[in-house]
Structure 1
Amino acid sequence: MPYESSAAWQYDVPTTGSTHLPPNSGYGKALTNQGYGFEVAVADLIDNSLDAGADEMVVHFLRDAERILTLLIIDNGRGMDDAGLDAAMTVGKLRDYDDDSLGMYGTGLKAASLSHASSLTVVSRTRRTRAAGRRLTAEGIEDGFRCDTVDPRYAQDLVDRYDGVIEWQGTVVRWDQVRTFETVARGQSDQYLSKAISRLETHLGLYFHRFLRKGLKLDIAVWDVGDGDGGQWEELDHISVEPLDPFGYKVPGRAGYPRSFTATVEGAGEVTLTAHIWAAKSKQAGFRQIGALAERQGFYFYRNDRLVQAGGWNGLRSPEGHLVLARVEVDLPTTPNGVFSLDVKKEGVTVTPAFTLGVEEAVDAAGHTFLAYLSDAEAAYRDGSKRAEITRKPVTPPGKGFDPKVKRVVKEELPEKPGEEPIEFRWAPLPHDRFFDLDREANAVLLNRSFREDFNDGRRGGSNDAPVTKTLLYLLLEDCFGLGRWEKTRQDRVDYWNTILLASVRVQRERRERGVS
């Protein structure tokens, strides 16, 4: 229709045709600047694995003696054939998502990966197809979005290396030239990995806690690839991610909670708000180990059981110290609507004013209001602040070689000394008259390697083996680290502990050899 000056310009804009404008290859640079944090990017890849039906995954760091080399994420999902790999690696490629899918926009694999790595490789196999792979690099994107085909022999070799996870089908996502890895100075790899894995374990344990409760097996491992000649790799660390439930209290902070409130929200219908009040001064990991308490009060939004926002009041009110015990569980509607908007990185939800208006008017089945809930949470905080609390002495935390489940309990029970490097436990060659020794400069407890099988039922054991022995030694030896002058009385204590422990391990070995339990 030709334009007429009398057209209702305030309601519509007339057009005369259209032109297809494909993106310039420079658009690919935007993929490297999406603001993904490291943990958020890894979580986005785990979403893809869950959408592929995986129930077992490993986040795998590879390193050698001097540097951290690469990161891989392995799953036992349905896998992809050549056509599926091409679709997965196409920038901007959208696909049909099921209502229960975690993926939404079709950009997560590329944007999350290329935000951290200059090279993204995906190798996969299905039950009906051989292993195949594709590689996308920053240079390839600039060269007209070129995607490289991985040598099938390498693809099969990579899948075979992870046959403990990929039996018949599965996928390996590999990051190379990871920018943060390349900034780690020589000699600092252990320190970097310790902190990076701790943050990653917390993030994944929190955001996937419902899946982990339902049986998802999610591990984080570190392997030393040695001189890279294709020989046997050595496992340096291996932990299983445990669920960090932000509502996993044993006793609520107020009788009658949790309570379910119904908010009538224009554009979204009825939205259920499950309101929780934590016990004041709780030491449980789900309360204290998921971030600053002031930031973790408020709404916890879930989409298809995946946590997508962990705290924040979304304009309802400002964070307050008196509300740190208040956390509200909200499952987003399966059908999209204009009230809730989830960002691409899946770490925050934007709501319209209709949501906050509905929350302010929300009530439960007994007629209690949501505003009364907030008052109850404040009262629980004030009552808890009045109670006397025993102050426990801060300790140097346990680190590498210490089972993560025990490590978490230590963290719940004892405050940490600020700025102290964790105490590492490792098996090492020691003289026959020493059960353990201390490397105080490296903050490490060395255990005599010749006794390792005695504490692992005759087997070599993993990096976090012998948990009872290591825990008892930690409790005995923690105060031997971080000291200035080394006193003779402390050395004498270490010496007689060694003598007594050597006697006990020899008795244990004799009983095992005789078949006595």
Structure 2
Amino acid sequence: MSTWRDRIPTIGSIDLPPDPRALDGLGRNHSLETAIADLVDNSIDAGASHVLIRLVRVEGRLRALYVVDNGHGMPESRIDSAMTIGGQRAYSSNDLGKFGLGLKAASFSQARSLTVISQALGSTAVGRRWLLDENREGFLCDIIPTDFATDEFERQWRIDGMDTGTVIRWDNVTGFPATDNPARVEDFISRTANALQNHLGLVFHRIIDAGKISIEIDVEDIEAGAPGPRIPVTALNPFGYVRSGRAGYPKELSARLGDTDLRFRCHIWTGRSTLPQFKLPGGAEARQGIYFYRRDRLLQAGEGWHGIHASDRRLQLARVEVEIDDDIVRLFAMNPEKSKVNVGPEFTQLAEQAKADDGTTFHDYLEVAEHTFRESRKRSTERRKMAPLGKGIAPELRKAIEREIPFDMESEPIDIRWKRFSSDDFFEIDREQRSLWLNEKYRPPTRGERRSVNDAPLLKALLYLVAEELFRGEYLGARDKDNVELYQEILTAAAKSEQI
């Protein structure tokens, strides 16, 4: 009978390199959007101020995708490390990459060919290529000749400060449509650009808002000889409401467990908001929950409460920010795609203990969020319809009003415009022409630019809210006439006082 031994003996070592086909399995959980976000992480780590995503079309077909930045670039020694499977450079504490697989996993999830060309300060452009091939033997990375690397680096990227930087090129992209049908190709480009705008605008919203990075998308038609117009990626802030849905919020809850401190910044959105920041890809209900950030990069955008509470449609106004800093990083595990965060049992315990300075607990917060949602359902049915807006209102203001007020489409629109009066009156109600006229005498001065018919948005919005009811009915009643006199006296006096 053999005995158990504490130490396991060895008699030597043998080199067992991985099967080259293992490359095919990298990044299987990536989407196109998460894969490109991983490349943008590398650009940010490299100190880039600008990132360009370019689709290339040749003879009607999409043939390649580029991600280009004006970061520090890499010399030959660094590019070899970057292209090594599992190779890890010396990461700083602020870097978003950690696994040594991000570039390769993201790229191989979407394309059969990955080419990296980079130029560091004082160096010539260098390039390497990985080509997924079923017949490949070993891990042999192709070397790109200097002349081709230089030509690629110096293409018409239209990026300032491109003395250094990196060009990532994907060929044989698996998701590209296998057709040159113009309608299908244009539809794919439109959907892809929209998906990238939404995902990158959400994931990097803090960094974009801070002006640290600019991300743009364009399409180059090789036969046309020049790239097309650029599509900017704008910040999509999931906490970018105009006003909080509840007084006293956002509110910070904090908890301590042993030597671990954790803070929850709790937000409540206004009900029935139609802002894209609220709706987000997938819908507001799916986006309730915890928003995890690391170095201002959004790792997970809601999608649940991680054991604190079950998801519920009545909690769709509730969103919570959690910062994963170095002190608490051990509580969390991030997937390689940087799209999901898993929490340990301590996280739920901390959430249960968390309190605000006024004693509010997490349970209290969720109750307030649910109550706010219920109240918003009631209020929305009680808002009176108002006549639609006509001329004189800026499109952005019109959209904002439309989001909050149901329009009575059977009513004629109300124009709000300026004209010269023979009197000092501030305004004039013209029910026949459905116009609220404002006295040109009191028109706010411009700062040198040409006057716009859509000027003075604050004044016009307030007058619309106050005077809209005066355009209702067949005639002005005694109460309406008294209100007109009241408004006229006060507004005219106020306008005159501004001219003194």
Q: Normalization by structure 1: what TM-score?
A: 0.71
* 1:291 and 2:286 correspond: no
Unpaired runs of 5+ residues, structure 1, are 393-405, 416-467, 469-517
Structure 2 distance, partners of 1:152, 1:363, is 60
Kindly indicate whether the alpha-carbon contact (under 8 Å) linking 1:304 and 1:334 is maintained by their aligned counterparts in 2.
no
Q: Which amino acid aligns with 2:317?
A: L
Q: Which amino acid aligns with 1:135?
A: R
Kindly indicate whether the alpha-carbon contact (under 8 Å) linking 2:54 and 2:67 is maintained by their aligned counterparts in 1.
yes
Rate the CA distance shift 1:387–1:134 in 2: closer, same or farther, 3 A.
same
**Partner residue, 1:212:** 208
Rate the CA distance shift 1:234–1:167 in 2: closer, same or farther, 3 A.
closer
**Partner residue, 2:218:** 221
Residue aligned with 2:380, SS = coil
**Partner residue, 2:3:** 5
Kindly indicate whether the alpha-carbon contact (under 8 Å) linking 2:236 and 2:277 is maintained by their aligned counterparts in 1.
yes
In the TM superposition, residue 335 of structure 1 has moved relative to its aligned partner by 4.8
Rate the CA distance shift 1:339–1:68 in 2: closer, same or farther, 3 A.
same
Residue number among 109, 112, 116 corresponding to 2:110 in the alignment:
116
Pair member with larger Rg: 2
Q: Which amino acid aligns with 1:324?
A: Q
In the TM superposition, residue 143 of structure 1 has moved relative to its aligned partner by 2.4
Kindly indicate whether the alpha-carbon contact (under 8 Å) linking 1:58 and 1:73 is maintained by their aligned counterparts in 2.
yes
Q: Which amino acid aligns with 1:233?
A: A
* 1:356 and 2:352 correspond: no
* 1:23 and 2:23 correspond: no
Deviation per CA, 1:206-225: give whole Å up to 9, x if none.
Answer: 00001101111111111211
Unpaired runs of 5+ residues, structure 2, are 386-394, 405-452, 454-500
* 1:174 and 2:172 correspond: no
Kindly indicate whether the alpha-carbon contact (under 8 Å) linking 2:61 and 2:178 is maintained by their aligned counterparts in 1.
no
Rate the CA distance shift 1:4–1:201 in 2: closer, same or farther, 3 A.
same
Residue number among 194, 206, 209 corresponding to 1:198 in the alignment:
194
Kindly indicate whether the alpha-carbon contact (under 8 Å) linking 1:28 and 1:141 is maintained by their aligned counterparts in 2.
no
Instruction: Report the aligned-residue RMSD.
Output: 2.8
Q: Normalization by structure 2: what TM-score?
A: 0.73
Structure 1 distance, partners of 2:74, 2:24, is 26
**Partner residue, 2:132:** 138
Residue aligned with 1:379, SS = helix
Rate the CA distance shift 1:411–1:94 in 2: closer, same or farther, 3 A.
farther
Deviation per CA, 1:444-481: give whole Å up to 9, x if none.
Answer: xxxxxxxxxxxxxxxxxxxxxxxx9xxxxxxxxxxxxx
Kindly indicate whether the alpha-carbon contact (under 8 Å) linking 1:308 and 1:347 is maintained by their aligned counterparts in 2.
yes
* 1:344 and 2:333 correspond: no
**Partner residue, 2:266:** 275
In the TM superposition, residue 17 of structure 1 has moved relative to its aligned partner by 5.5
Rate the CA distance shift 1:223–1:28 in 2: closer, same or farther, 3 A.
same
* 1:60 and 2:57 correspond: no
In the TM superposition, residue 250 of structure 1 has moved relative to its aligned partner by 1.1
* 1:302 and 2:289 correspond: no
**Partner residue, 1:480:** none
Residue aligned with 1:220, SS = strand
Rate the CA distance shift 1:13–1:414 in 2: closer, same or farther, 3 A.
farther
Residue aligned with 2:154, SS = helix
* 1:47 and 2:41 correspond: yes
Kindly indicate whether the alpha-carbon contact (under 8 Å) linking 1:45 and 1:108 is maintained by their aligned counterparts in 2.
yes
**Partner residue, 2:320:** 328
* 1:82 and 2:73 correspond: no
Structure 1 distance, partners of 2:19, 2:373, is 56
Structure 2 distance, partners of 1:129, 1:302, is 36
In the TM superposition, residue 325 of structure 1 has moved relative to its aligned partner by 0.3
In the TM superposition, residue 289 of structure 1 has moved relative to its aligned partner by 3.1
In the TM superposition, residue 338 of structure 1 has moved relative to its aligned partner by 3.5
Mapping of residues 67-466 of structure 1, within 5 Å: 67-139=61-133, 142-162=136-156, 164-165=158-159, 166-184=161-179, 186-187=181-182, 188-215=184-211, 216-226=213-223, 232-235=225-228, 237-265=229-257, 269-311=260-302, 312-335=304-327, 337-389=329-381
More divergent stretch after superposition (195-204 vs 337-346): 337-346
Identity %, equivalent residues: 37
Structure 1 distance, partners of 2:76, 2:139, is 17
Kindly indicate whether the alpha-carbon contact (under 8 Å) linking 1:99 and 1:335 is maintained by their aligned counterparts in 2.
no
In the TM superposition, residue 121 of structure 1 has moved relative to its aligned partner by 0.6
Structure 2 distance, partners of 1:348, 1:13, is 39
Aligned residue pairs, count? 391
Kindly indicate whether the alpha-carbon contact (under 8 Å) linking 2:273 and 2:403 is maintained by their aligned counterparts in 1.
no
Rate the CA distance shift 1:68–1:330 in 2: closer, same or farther, 3 A.
same
Structure 2 distance, partners of 1:63, 1:411, is 38
